[in-house]
C-alpha cells in the first residue's frame, strides 16, 4: 500500500535538479507537498525552478564534482534539526561513442559525476540522514546498470558500479533506519542524449520515455519502500534479466546491431 507523502515529514535532497529528469522529479515531488533541497551548478536556473514550483524550496548552487561543492550541500543540510528524509542521487553525465575516441577528461568526468559523487555525497550525508525516523537513499541508475551497451562503455561501467554500491550499502545499513534503493529508467528523452543517440535509438527501434512518465513512476517507487530496485521499460527489463542469466545471448544479439550503432557514434546520422 502506498503511503502519501507529507510536507511536514519529508525533506528531500535532489541532485541534478535543473536537468531534464531532475526538474521533472522536482515538479512531481513538489506536487506531493515535500520540501526539496535543490542542488545544481547554476544558481539562476535553480531559482527559476524553485519559483516555478512555488518558491518554498531550498537551492544550493555548486559543483558536486568538487569537495567544496559537496561540503556546501552537507553544511546546508545540517541546519535541519530532524535531519533529511531522502537523498536522491540524480546528477549524471553521458558520452556516446567508442572508447578509443574518448580522452581521459571524458572518462574522468563520467566516473566522477556518475559514481564518485553519489558515493561521496552518501558518505557525507549519512549522519544527517540518520537523524530522521526513517530515511531513504535512492540512486538513479539506468537500463545500463545491468546491461552493458556498445558506445556507452564508461557510462555502463558507472551505472553497473552504482548498482553494486546501492546493493552493498543496502546490506551495510540493514540494521539502521536508512534504506538504499535503485531506480533505473531506460532511455529518456532529455538533452543528455544527443541527436546521434536519438537517431540510433530510432534506427534500432528502441523506445524512449518522457521525463514526466519517468517522474510519475518514480513517485510510485518512492512510496513503495519495500522495493529494493526498479527497472523501467519492456523489453529492457527482460534483456537485463537475460543478461544476468547468460550474457552470451545478449552478446550475439547486439553483435548483429553493432554496424547500426557504429554508424551513429561516428556522427553520420541518417
**Measured in whole angstroms, how far is the alpha carbon of residue 149 from the centre of its chain?**
18
C-alpha cell at 4: 502519501
Q: Can you tell me whether residue 259 is helix, strand or coil? A: helix
| Rounded Cα gap, residues 158 and 58, in angstroms | 29
Which residues have a catalytic role annotated? 155
| Rounded Cα gap, residues 131 and 254, in angstroms | 47
Contact (Cβ atoms closer than 8 angstroms) between residue 15 and residue 39: yes
Cis peptide before 235 (omega within 30 of 0): yes
| Rounded Cα gap, residues 49 and 14, in angstroms | 13
| Rounded Cα gap, residues 10 and 88, in angstroms | 13
The 8-class DSSP code of residue 258 comes to H
Amino acid at each position: 500500500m502506498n503511503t502519501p507523502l507529507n510536507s511536514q515529514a519529508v525533506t528531500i535532497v535532489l541532485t541534478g535538479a535543473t536537468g531534464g529528469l531532475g526538474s521533472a522529479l522536482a515538479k512531481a515531488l513538489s506536487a506531493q507537498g515535500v520540501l526539496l533541497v535543490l542542488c545544481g551548478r547554476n544558481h539562476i536556473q535553480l531559482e527559476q525552478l524553485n519559483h516555478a514550483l512555488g518558491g518554498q524550496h531550498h537551492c544550493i548552487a555548486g559543483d558536486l564534482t568538487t569537495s567544496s561543492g559537496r561540503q556546501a550541500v552537507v553544511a546546508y543540510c545540517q541546519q535541519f534539526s530532524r535531519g533529511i528524509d531522502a537523498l536522491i542521487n540524480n546528477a549524471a553525465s553521458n558520452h556516446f561513442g567508442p572508447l578509443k575516441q574518448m580522452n581521459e577528461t571524458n572518462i574522468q568526468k563520467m566516473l566522477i559525476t556518475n559514481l564518485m559523487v553519489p558515493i561521496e555525497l552518501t558518505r557525507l550525508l549519512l549522519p544527517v540522514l540518520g537523524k530522521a525516523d526513517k530515511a531513504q537513499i535512492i540512486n538513479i541508475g539506468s537500463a545500463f546498470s545491468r546491461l552493458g551497451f556498445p558506445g556507452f562503455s564508461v557510462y555502463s561501467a558507472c551505472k553497473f558500479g552504482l548498482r553494486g554500491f546501492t546493493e552493498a550499502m543496502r546490506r551495510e545499513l540493514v540494521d539502521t533506519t536508512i534504506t538504499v534503493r535503485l531506480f533505473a529508467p531506460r532511455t529518456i528523452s532529455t538533452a543528455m542524449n544527443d541527436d546521434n543517440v536519438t537517431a540510433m535509438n530510432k534506427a534500432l527501434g528502441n523506445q524512449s520515455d518522457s521525463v514526466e512518465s519517468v517522474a510519475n513512476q518514480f513517485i510510485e517507487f518512492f512510496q513503495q519502500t519495500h522495493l529494493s530496485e526498479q527497472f523501467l521499460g519492456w523489453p529492457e527489463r527482460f534483456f537485463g534479466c537475460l543478461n544476468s542469466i547468460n550474457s552470451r545471448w545478449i552478446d550475439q544479439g547486439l553483435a548483429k546491431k553493432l554496424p547500426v550503432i557504429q554508424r551513429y557514434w561516428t556522427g553520420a546520422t541518417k
